[in-house]
């Protein structure tokens, strides 16, 4: 009996770490995309019952169905899977042991959150680099045009 209990405790600790990472990943994605779209004062440009820092898990997920910069991050199926994770999260937080399929579902949510965060940030970094290259190229063309016009005078 002791071995089973120890194994359940070990799995619960792992699950708690995953749910923590899922919540952090979701909140990081929200903060990153809304700040990128609306600027540093993004929190004053949206309406939510609670601030993101203290939002319930299901409220955090709902951001991805409300705000344009977040709408294409998750598919409707992925959002549905995240909402299903809410019950698992509650079981963990109320110190209930998870069933094997709940543990596996949570792991899938954990992987999805990590992948979305990494891909999203990489994509936006690439976009920023392209924008910087464009601006740099445009500046050098403008300086060249200015130099040519001065030289012609």
- Dist CA 49 CA 55 (whole Å): 8
Residue 69 DSSP one-character state:
G
Which pLDDT score is estimated for 6? 87
Say whether pLDDT at 83 is over 70.
Answer: yes
Say whether pLDDT at 34 is over 70.
Answer: yes
Work out the average pLDDT over 131-151: 57
Residues 6+ apart with CB under 8 A from 122: none
DSSP 14-27: HHHHHHHHHHHHHH
- Tell whether 150 is covered by a domain: no
- Assign 73 to helix, strand or coil: coil
- Tell whether 129 is covered by a domain: no
Which pLDDT score is estimated for 52? 94
- Tell whether 60 is covered by a domain: yes
Work out the widest C-alpha separation in the chain, in whole angstroms.
Answer: 93
- Tell whether 41 is covered by a domain: yes
- Tell whether 77 is covered by a domain: yes
- Tell whether 132 is covered by a domain: no
What percent of the chain has pLDDT above 70? 77
Element (H, E) at 116: helix 100-152
For residue 44, the enclosing domain spans 2-124
Under 8 Å between Cβ of 7 and 98: no
Number of compact structural domains in the chain: 1
DSSP 25-52: HHHHHHHHHHHHHH-TTGGGGS--SS-G
The H-assigned helical ranges of 39-99 are 57-62, 76-93
Say whether pLDDT at 92 is over 70.
Answer: yes
- Tell whether 54 is covered by a domain: yes
- Tell whether 80 is covered by a domain: yes
């Amino acid at each position: 009996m002791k071995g089973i209990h120890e194994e359940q405790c070990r799995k619960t600790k792992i699950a708690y770490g995953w749910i923590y990472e899922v919540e952090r990943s979701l909140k990081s994605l929200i903060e990153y995309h809304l700040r990128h779209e609306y600027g540093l004062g993004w929190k004053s440009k949206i309406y939510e019952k609670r601030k993101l820092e203290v939002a319930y898990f299901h409220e955090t997920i709902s951001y991805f169905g409300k705000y344009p910069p977040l709408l294409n991050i998750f598919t409707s199926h992925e959002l549905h899977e995240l909402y299903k994770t809410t019950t698992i999260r509650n079981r963990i937080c109320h110190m209930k042991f998870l069933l094997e399929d709940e543990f596996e579902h949570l792991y899938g949510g954990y992987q999805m959150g990590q992948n979305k965060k990494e891909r999203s940030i990489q994509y936006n970094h690439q976009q920023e680099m392209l924008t910087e290259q464009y601006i740099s190229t445009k500046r050098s063309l403008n300086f060249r045009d200015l130099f040519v016009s001065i030289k012609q005078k």
